[in-house]
Structure 1
Amino acid sequence: MPQCPVRRVIGIVGGLSPESTVVYYEHIIREYRRRFRDHSYPEIVIYSVNFQRFVDWMRREEWSHIAGALVEAVEKLYRAGADFALIASNTMHIVFDEVRRRSPIPLISIVEATADAVKRHGLRKVGLLGTLFTMTKNFYREGLARHGIEVIVPPPEDMELVDRVIFEELVNGVIKAESRKEYLRIIRGLREEGAQGVILGCTEIPMLVGPEDVDMPLFDTTRIHAERALAVALGEEDVQ
């Protein structure tokens, strides 16, 4: 295997939740080890925010506060030496365009990275699981529509269940077999509605279900986002 020095410092806005932030770090390091034999691991700066503040703002739909806090977090990453950054959360991408506009460094979009992954698979219709905000807001639909991909979501009662499991279990590191069973039922329902694959549009969901659980493509947005970050750090890709 070749050796490859890392060129750019990765910044991660983490803590949204802490569980998925750990997974981001692990994905980046594991992917580097898979590809290279040396120990020139990526330099990574992580700023972990107060998750409760963001939960409270989300419940009140105070998105301007969220955008401002994310900009502050990115500025701290910049001052700590990050050359570019990512926000380790799907839901926070509701305000991604605003944060990107105000950011002192380039930002990698989880939606754009996921759209590219779905497009590479040649799919035209995919299901979406995530927080209630992610499933009901339009940022994923609009992002994938630009690539000619249709996004569908579960019925309202199933969206409530998906959201409840995320906030009551997954963000606290709790994994329940019954919740996995329910998620798989919901995924089957999306397939019956014509979905050719499913976006795991919450960075905690891959803790619960994975490719081994279903016989259709699952798009792990955490892994996709992390791998895009490594590619940018290596100079293989530019930030869009």
Structure 2
Amino acid sequence: MRKIGLIGGLSWTSTARYYQIINQAVARARGGLSSAPVLIESLNFADVARSASADDWDSASRELIGAAQRLETAGAETLLICANSMHKVYDAVAAAVGVPIIHIAEVVGDKMNADGVKSAALIGTRNVMTEKFYRQRLVAHGVSLLPADMKLADRIDTIVYDELVLGKATRESERFMKSELTDIAKQNVQAVILACTELEMIVDVKANVLPIYDCTNIHAMAGARFILSE
């Protein structure tokens, strides 16, 4: 099996989910006691989040570049950045290493394209919902996106950074997301893109009116396929 590297700690809760999904996929494919050869560079999210919130993306980029280079040196053959929002610095990180980095929006776009989905609502933290670095890659796959809902983006930021990254999943936030997804289903879209690696903690991706493309699962499974590829 091929070895991959995870740039994690963005937050630790979602990194744990990546590790679980990848190992479960490898175990299913290989059977027995098989598990995945994975390297994890778990960053201090407090440092990275501080850079992002202060709009100091150069500092965030340096943190991720350092992690990527250490993983490459340790033998990782491809890398995953285990956060949607941190793909804002994807290009800089990818240019700093000699191994490929699997882009989360690219694999989500590929799957939606294969499924024939042409319209969707993008749900995530503010920078993912509003900025071009993420939206443009999905649009390039032929997916038309609803305009960003700024009130929803602000509420999701609060839920993610005050609760989910700390490992807290409240009933109030679960009810809020269920209500929002019900409202989105009334609009002219075919699917919802769950573009925040922590939101799976409060959204049942299999029990909604619209199909939900869970970016965490799709991205992690892309990593598992790389591990299992010849």
Question: TM-score interval w.r.t. the shorter chain?
Answer: over 0.9
Please state whether the residue corresponding to 2:206 is helix, strand or coil: helix
Q: Whole-Å Cα distance in 2 between the matches of residues 124 and 53 of structure 1?
A: 37
Paired residue for 1:220, among 193, 214, 222?
214
**Residue 189 (structure 1) aligned with residue 183 (structure 2):** yes
Q: Are the aligned partners of 2:6 and 2:81 in contact in 1 as well (CA < 8 Å)? A: yes
Q: Are the aligned partners of 1:127 and 1:199 in contact in 2 as well (CA < 8 Å)? A: yes
Please state whether the residue corresponding to 2:5 is helix, strand or coil: strand
Q: Are the aligned partners of 2:126 and 2:154 in contact in 1 as well (CA < 8 Å)? A: yes
- 1:203 alignment counterpart: 197
How high is the sequence identity, in percent, across the aligned residues? 32
Paired residue for 2:23, among 26, 29, 35?
29
Question: Following TM superposition, by how much is the alpha carbon of 1:142 offset from its aligned partner in structure 2, in angstroms?
Answer: 0.4
How many residues get paired? 230
Q: Are the aligned partners of 1:45 and 1:77 in contact in 2 as well (CA < 8 Å)? A: yes
Question: Following TM superposition, by how much is the alpha carbon of 1:64 offset from its aligned partner in structure 2, in angstroms?
Answer: 1.5
Q: Whole-Å Cα distance in 2 between the matches of residues 153 and 190 of structure 1?
A: 12
Letter in 1 for 2:204: G
Letter in 2 for 1:23: R
Q: Are the aligned partners of 2:120 and 2:143 in contact in 1 as well (CA < 8 Å)? A: yes
Question: Following TM superposition, by how much is the alpha carbon of 1:134 offset from its aligned partner in structure 2, in angstroms?
Answer: 0.9
Question: Following TM superposition, by how much is the alpha carbon of 1:233 offset from its aligned partner in structure 2, in angstroms?
Answer: 1.4
Please state whether the residue corresponding to 2:31 is helix, strand or coil: coil
- 1:121 alignment counterpart: 115
How is 1:130-209 mapped onto 2 (pairs within 5 angstroms)?
Answer: 130-209=124-203
What are structure 1's unaligned runs of at least 5 residues?
Answer: 1-5
- 1:103 alignment counterpart: 97
Question: Following TM superposition, by how much is the alpha carbon of 1:154 offset from its aligned partner in structure 2, in angstroms?
Answer: 5.0
How is 1:68-83 mapped onto 2 (pairs within 5 angstroms)?
Answer: 68-83=62-77
Question: Following TM superposition, by how much is the alpha carbon of 1:25 offset from its aligned partner in structure 2, in angstroms?
Answer: 0.4
Q: Whole-Å Cα distance in 2 between the matches of residues 103 and 150 of structure 1?
A: 32
Question: Following TM superposition, by how much is the alpha carbon of 1:152 offset from its aligned partner in structure 2, in angstroms?
Answer: 2.0
| CA RMSD of superposed structures (Å) | 1.4
1:5-49 CA-partner distances (Å, limit 9, x unpaired): x1x111000000000000000000111222232333221000000
Task: Call closer, same or farther: CA 1:83–1:92 in 2, change over 3 Å.
Answer: same
1:95-154 CA-partner distances (Å, limit 9, x unpaired): 112211222321110010111111122111111111111111112220011111112255
Q: Whole-Å Cα distance in 2 between the matches of residues 213 and 172 of structure 1?
A: 25
Q: Whole-Å Cα distance in 1 between the matches of residues 94 and 183 of structure 2?
A: 35
Q: Whole-Å Cα distance in 2 between the matches of residues 153 and 209 of structure 1?
A: 21
Q: Are the aligned partners of 2:88 and 2:133 in contact in 1 as well (CA < 8 Å)? A: yes
- 1:229 alignment counterpart: 223
- 1:56 alignment counterpart: 50
Q: Whole-Å Cα distance in 2 between the matches of residues 217 and 36 of structure 1?
A: 29
Please state whether the residue corresponding to 2:6 is helix, strand or coil: strand
Letter in 2 for 1:122: G
Q: TM-score, normalised by structure 2?
A: 0.95
Q: Whole-Å Cα distance in 2 between the matches of residues 212 and 228 of structure 1?
A: 20
Question: Following TM superposition, by how much is the alpha carbon of 1:230 offset from its aligned partner in structure 2, in angstroms?
Answer: 1.0
